[in-house]
Amino acid sequence: MWRALAGGLGVALAAGPVGCFVVWRRMAYFGTALAHAVLLGVALGFLLEIEPTLAVLVVCFLFAGCLALLERHSPVAVDTLLGVLAHLAFAGGLVALAFMERVRVDLIGYLFGDILSIGAADLWLIGVTAAATLTAIAWQWRNLLAITIDPNLAAAEGVPVERVRLLLVFLLAAVIAVGMKIVGMLLVVALVIMPAAAARRIATTPEAMAAAAVAAGAVSVGAGLAGSLAWDLPAGPAIVLVAGLLFLAGLPVPARRARP
């Protein structure tokens, strides 16, 4: 149980600031597409006999890189492209897993998360990912904000726009790969965007919004796990339910304005 809480908080820590950029840059659909590659990673993990979460991380990175490149030279509308590749990866993952007759995969666990089964290796991976994500975001904070506001302006001022954009895509892939363990691939994007969207109501600066998103994510994980313990709810959906309620509760509150 404590492992579950620690893992959940670790993911919330990384998902907060990354989620803010996903909300600001309208990348929610990109995130959903990435999450669909999870099963492909699981299959690869079994095939190569490596830790599944690590394999998922690697596959999410590769998929993110492909998507980011294809997005720039897409022959069709970007949302169509994402929709095609996401479900192609998902179906591919399902078929690959079905082929491996010797392994029995807990499909439900990957689809909806299995936070209570978090092992020591998972916890390590989550910790390292969260630390690396926060470090990278803090290091590139100014550039990330600059490309969010206007890529042309950023480029004219010397920001390496493509590299920073790619960094953000990789960070999102990392958060999705480890967050998948907590709430599952179908709900992981919720863990990224809901706390960030809820945080907007109380934040007056981008930094405050990132911090508030971390707090909202942590509250969701804590309350969701508590609810799961008290009433025997499925943990992942309970966490997402709390995050969603936080967002809805904030809607009537007017967004705070900065005081001079």
Partner 1 sequence: MNAFPPANELFGGEASGGDPRHRGGRDSEHRGRPLVEARQVSVQLGQRRVLEAVDLTVHAGEIVTLVGLNGAGKSTLVRVLLGILRPDDGTATRAPGLRVGYSPQQVRRDPFLPLTVRRFLSLSALVVPERVAGALGEVGADAILDLPMAEISGGELQRVLLARALLREPELLVLDEPTAGVDIASQGELYDLVARIRDRYGCGVLLVSHDLHLVMAATDRVVCLNRHVCCSGPPRTIARDPAFVALFGQHLAEALAAYPHQHDHRHDALADPAPTGGRA
Q: Are the CB atoms for 176 and 28 separated by under 8 Å?
A: no
Among 89, 97, 146, 175, binds partner 1 (CB under 8 A): 146
Stretch that binds partner 1, among 5-13, 106-114, 116-124, 205-213 (CB under 8 A): 205-213
Interface pick for partner 1 out of 42, 105, 182, 203 (rule CB under 8 A): 203
Give 215-220's long-range contacts (Cβ < 8 A, gap of 24+).
215/16, 216/16, 216/243, 216/246, 217/11, 217/12, 217/13, 217/15, 217/16, 217/19, 217/191, 217/243, 218/9, 218/12, 218/13, 219/246, 220/12, 220/191, 220/194, 220/195, 220/246
The reply on whether position 248 binds partner 1 by CB under 8 A is: no
Residue 14 C-beta: closest distance to partner 1, Å: 20
Question: With binding defined as CB under 8 A, does residue 87 bind partner 1?
Answer: no
User: From residue 24 to residue 53, what is the string marking binding to partner 1 with x (rule CB under 8 A)?
Assistant: x-----------------------------
168 sits near partner 1 (criterion: CB under 8 A): no
How many helices (H) and strands (E) are present in the chain, helices listed first? 13, 0
By CB under 8 A, name the one of 69, 91, 138, 256 that touches partner 1: 256
Structure tokens, 235: 């943990």
Q: Which stretch binds partner 1 (CB under 8 A): 3-11, 91-99, 163-171, 200-208?
A: 200-208
Report, in Å, the least distance between residue 256 CB and partner 1: 8
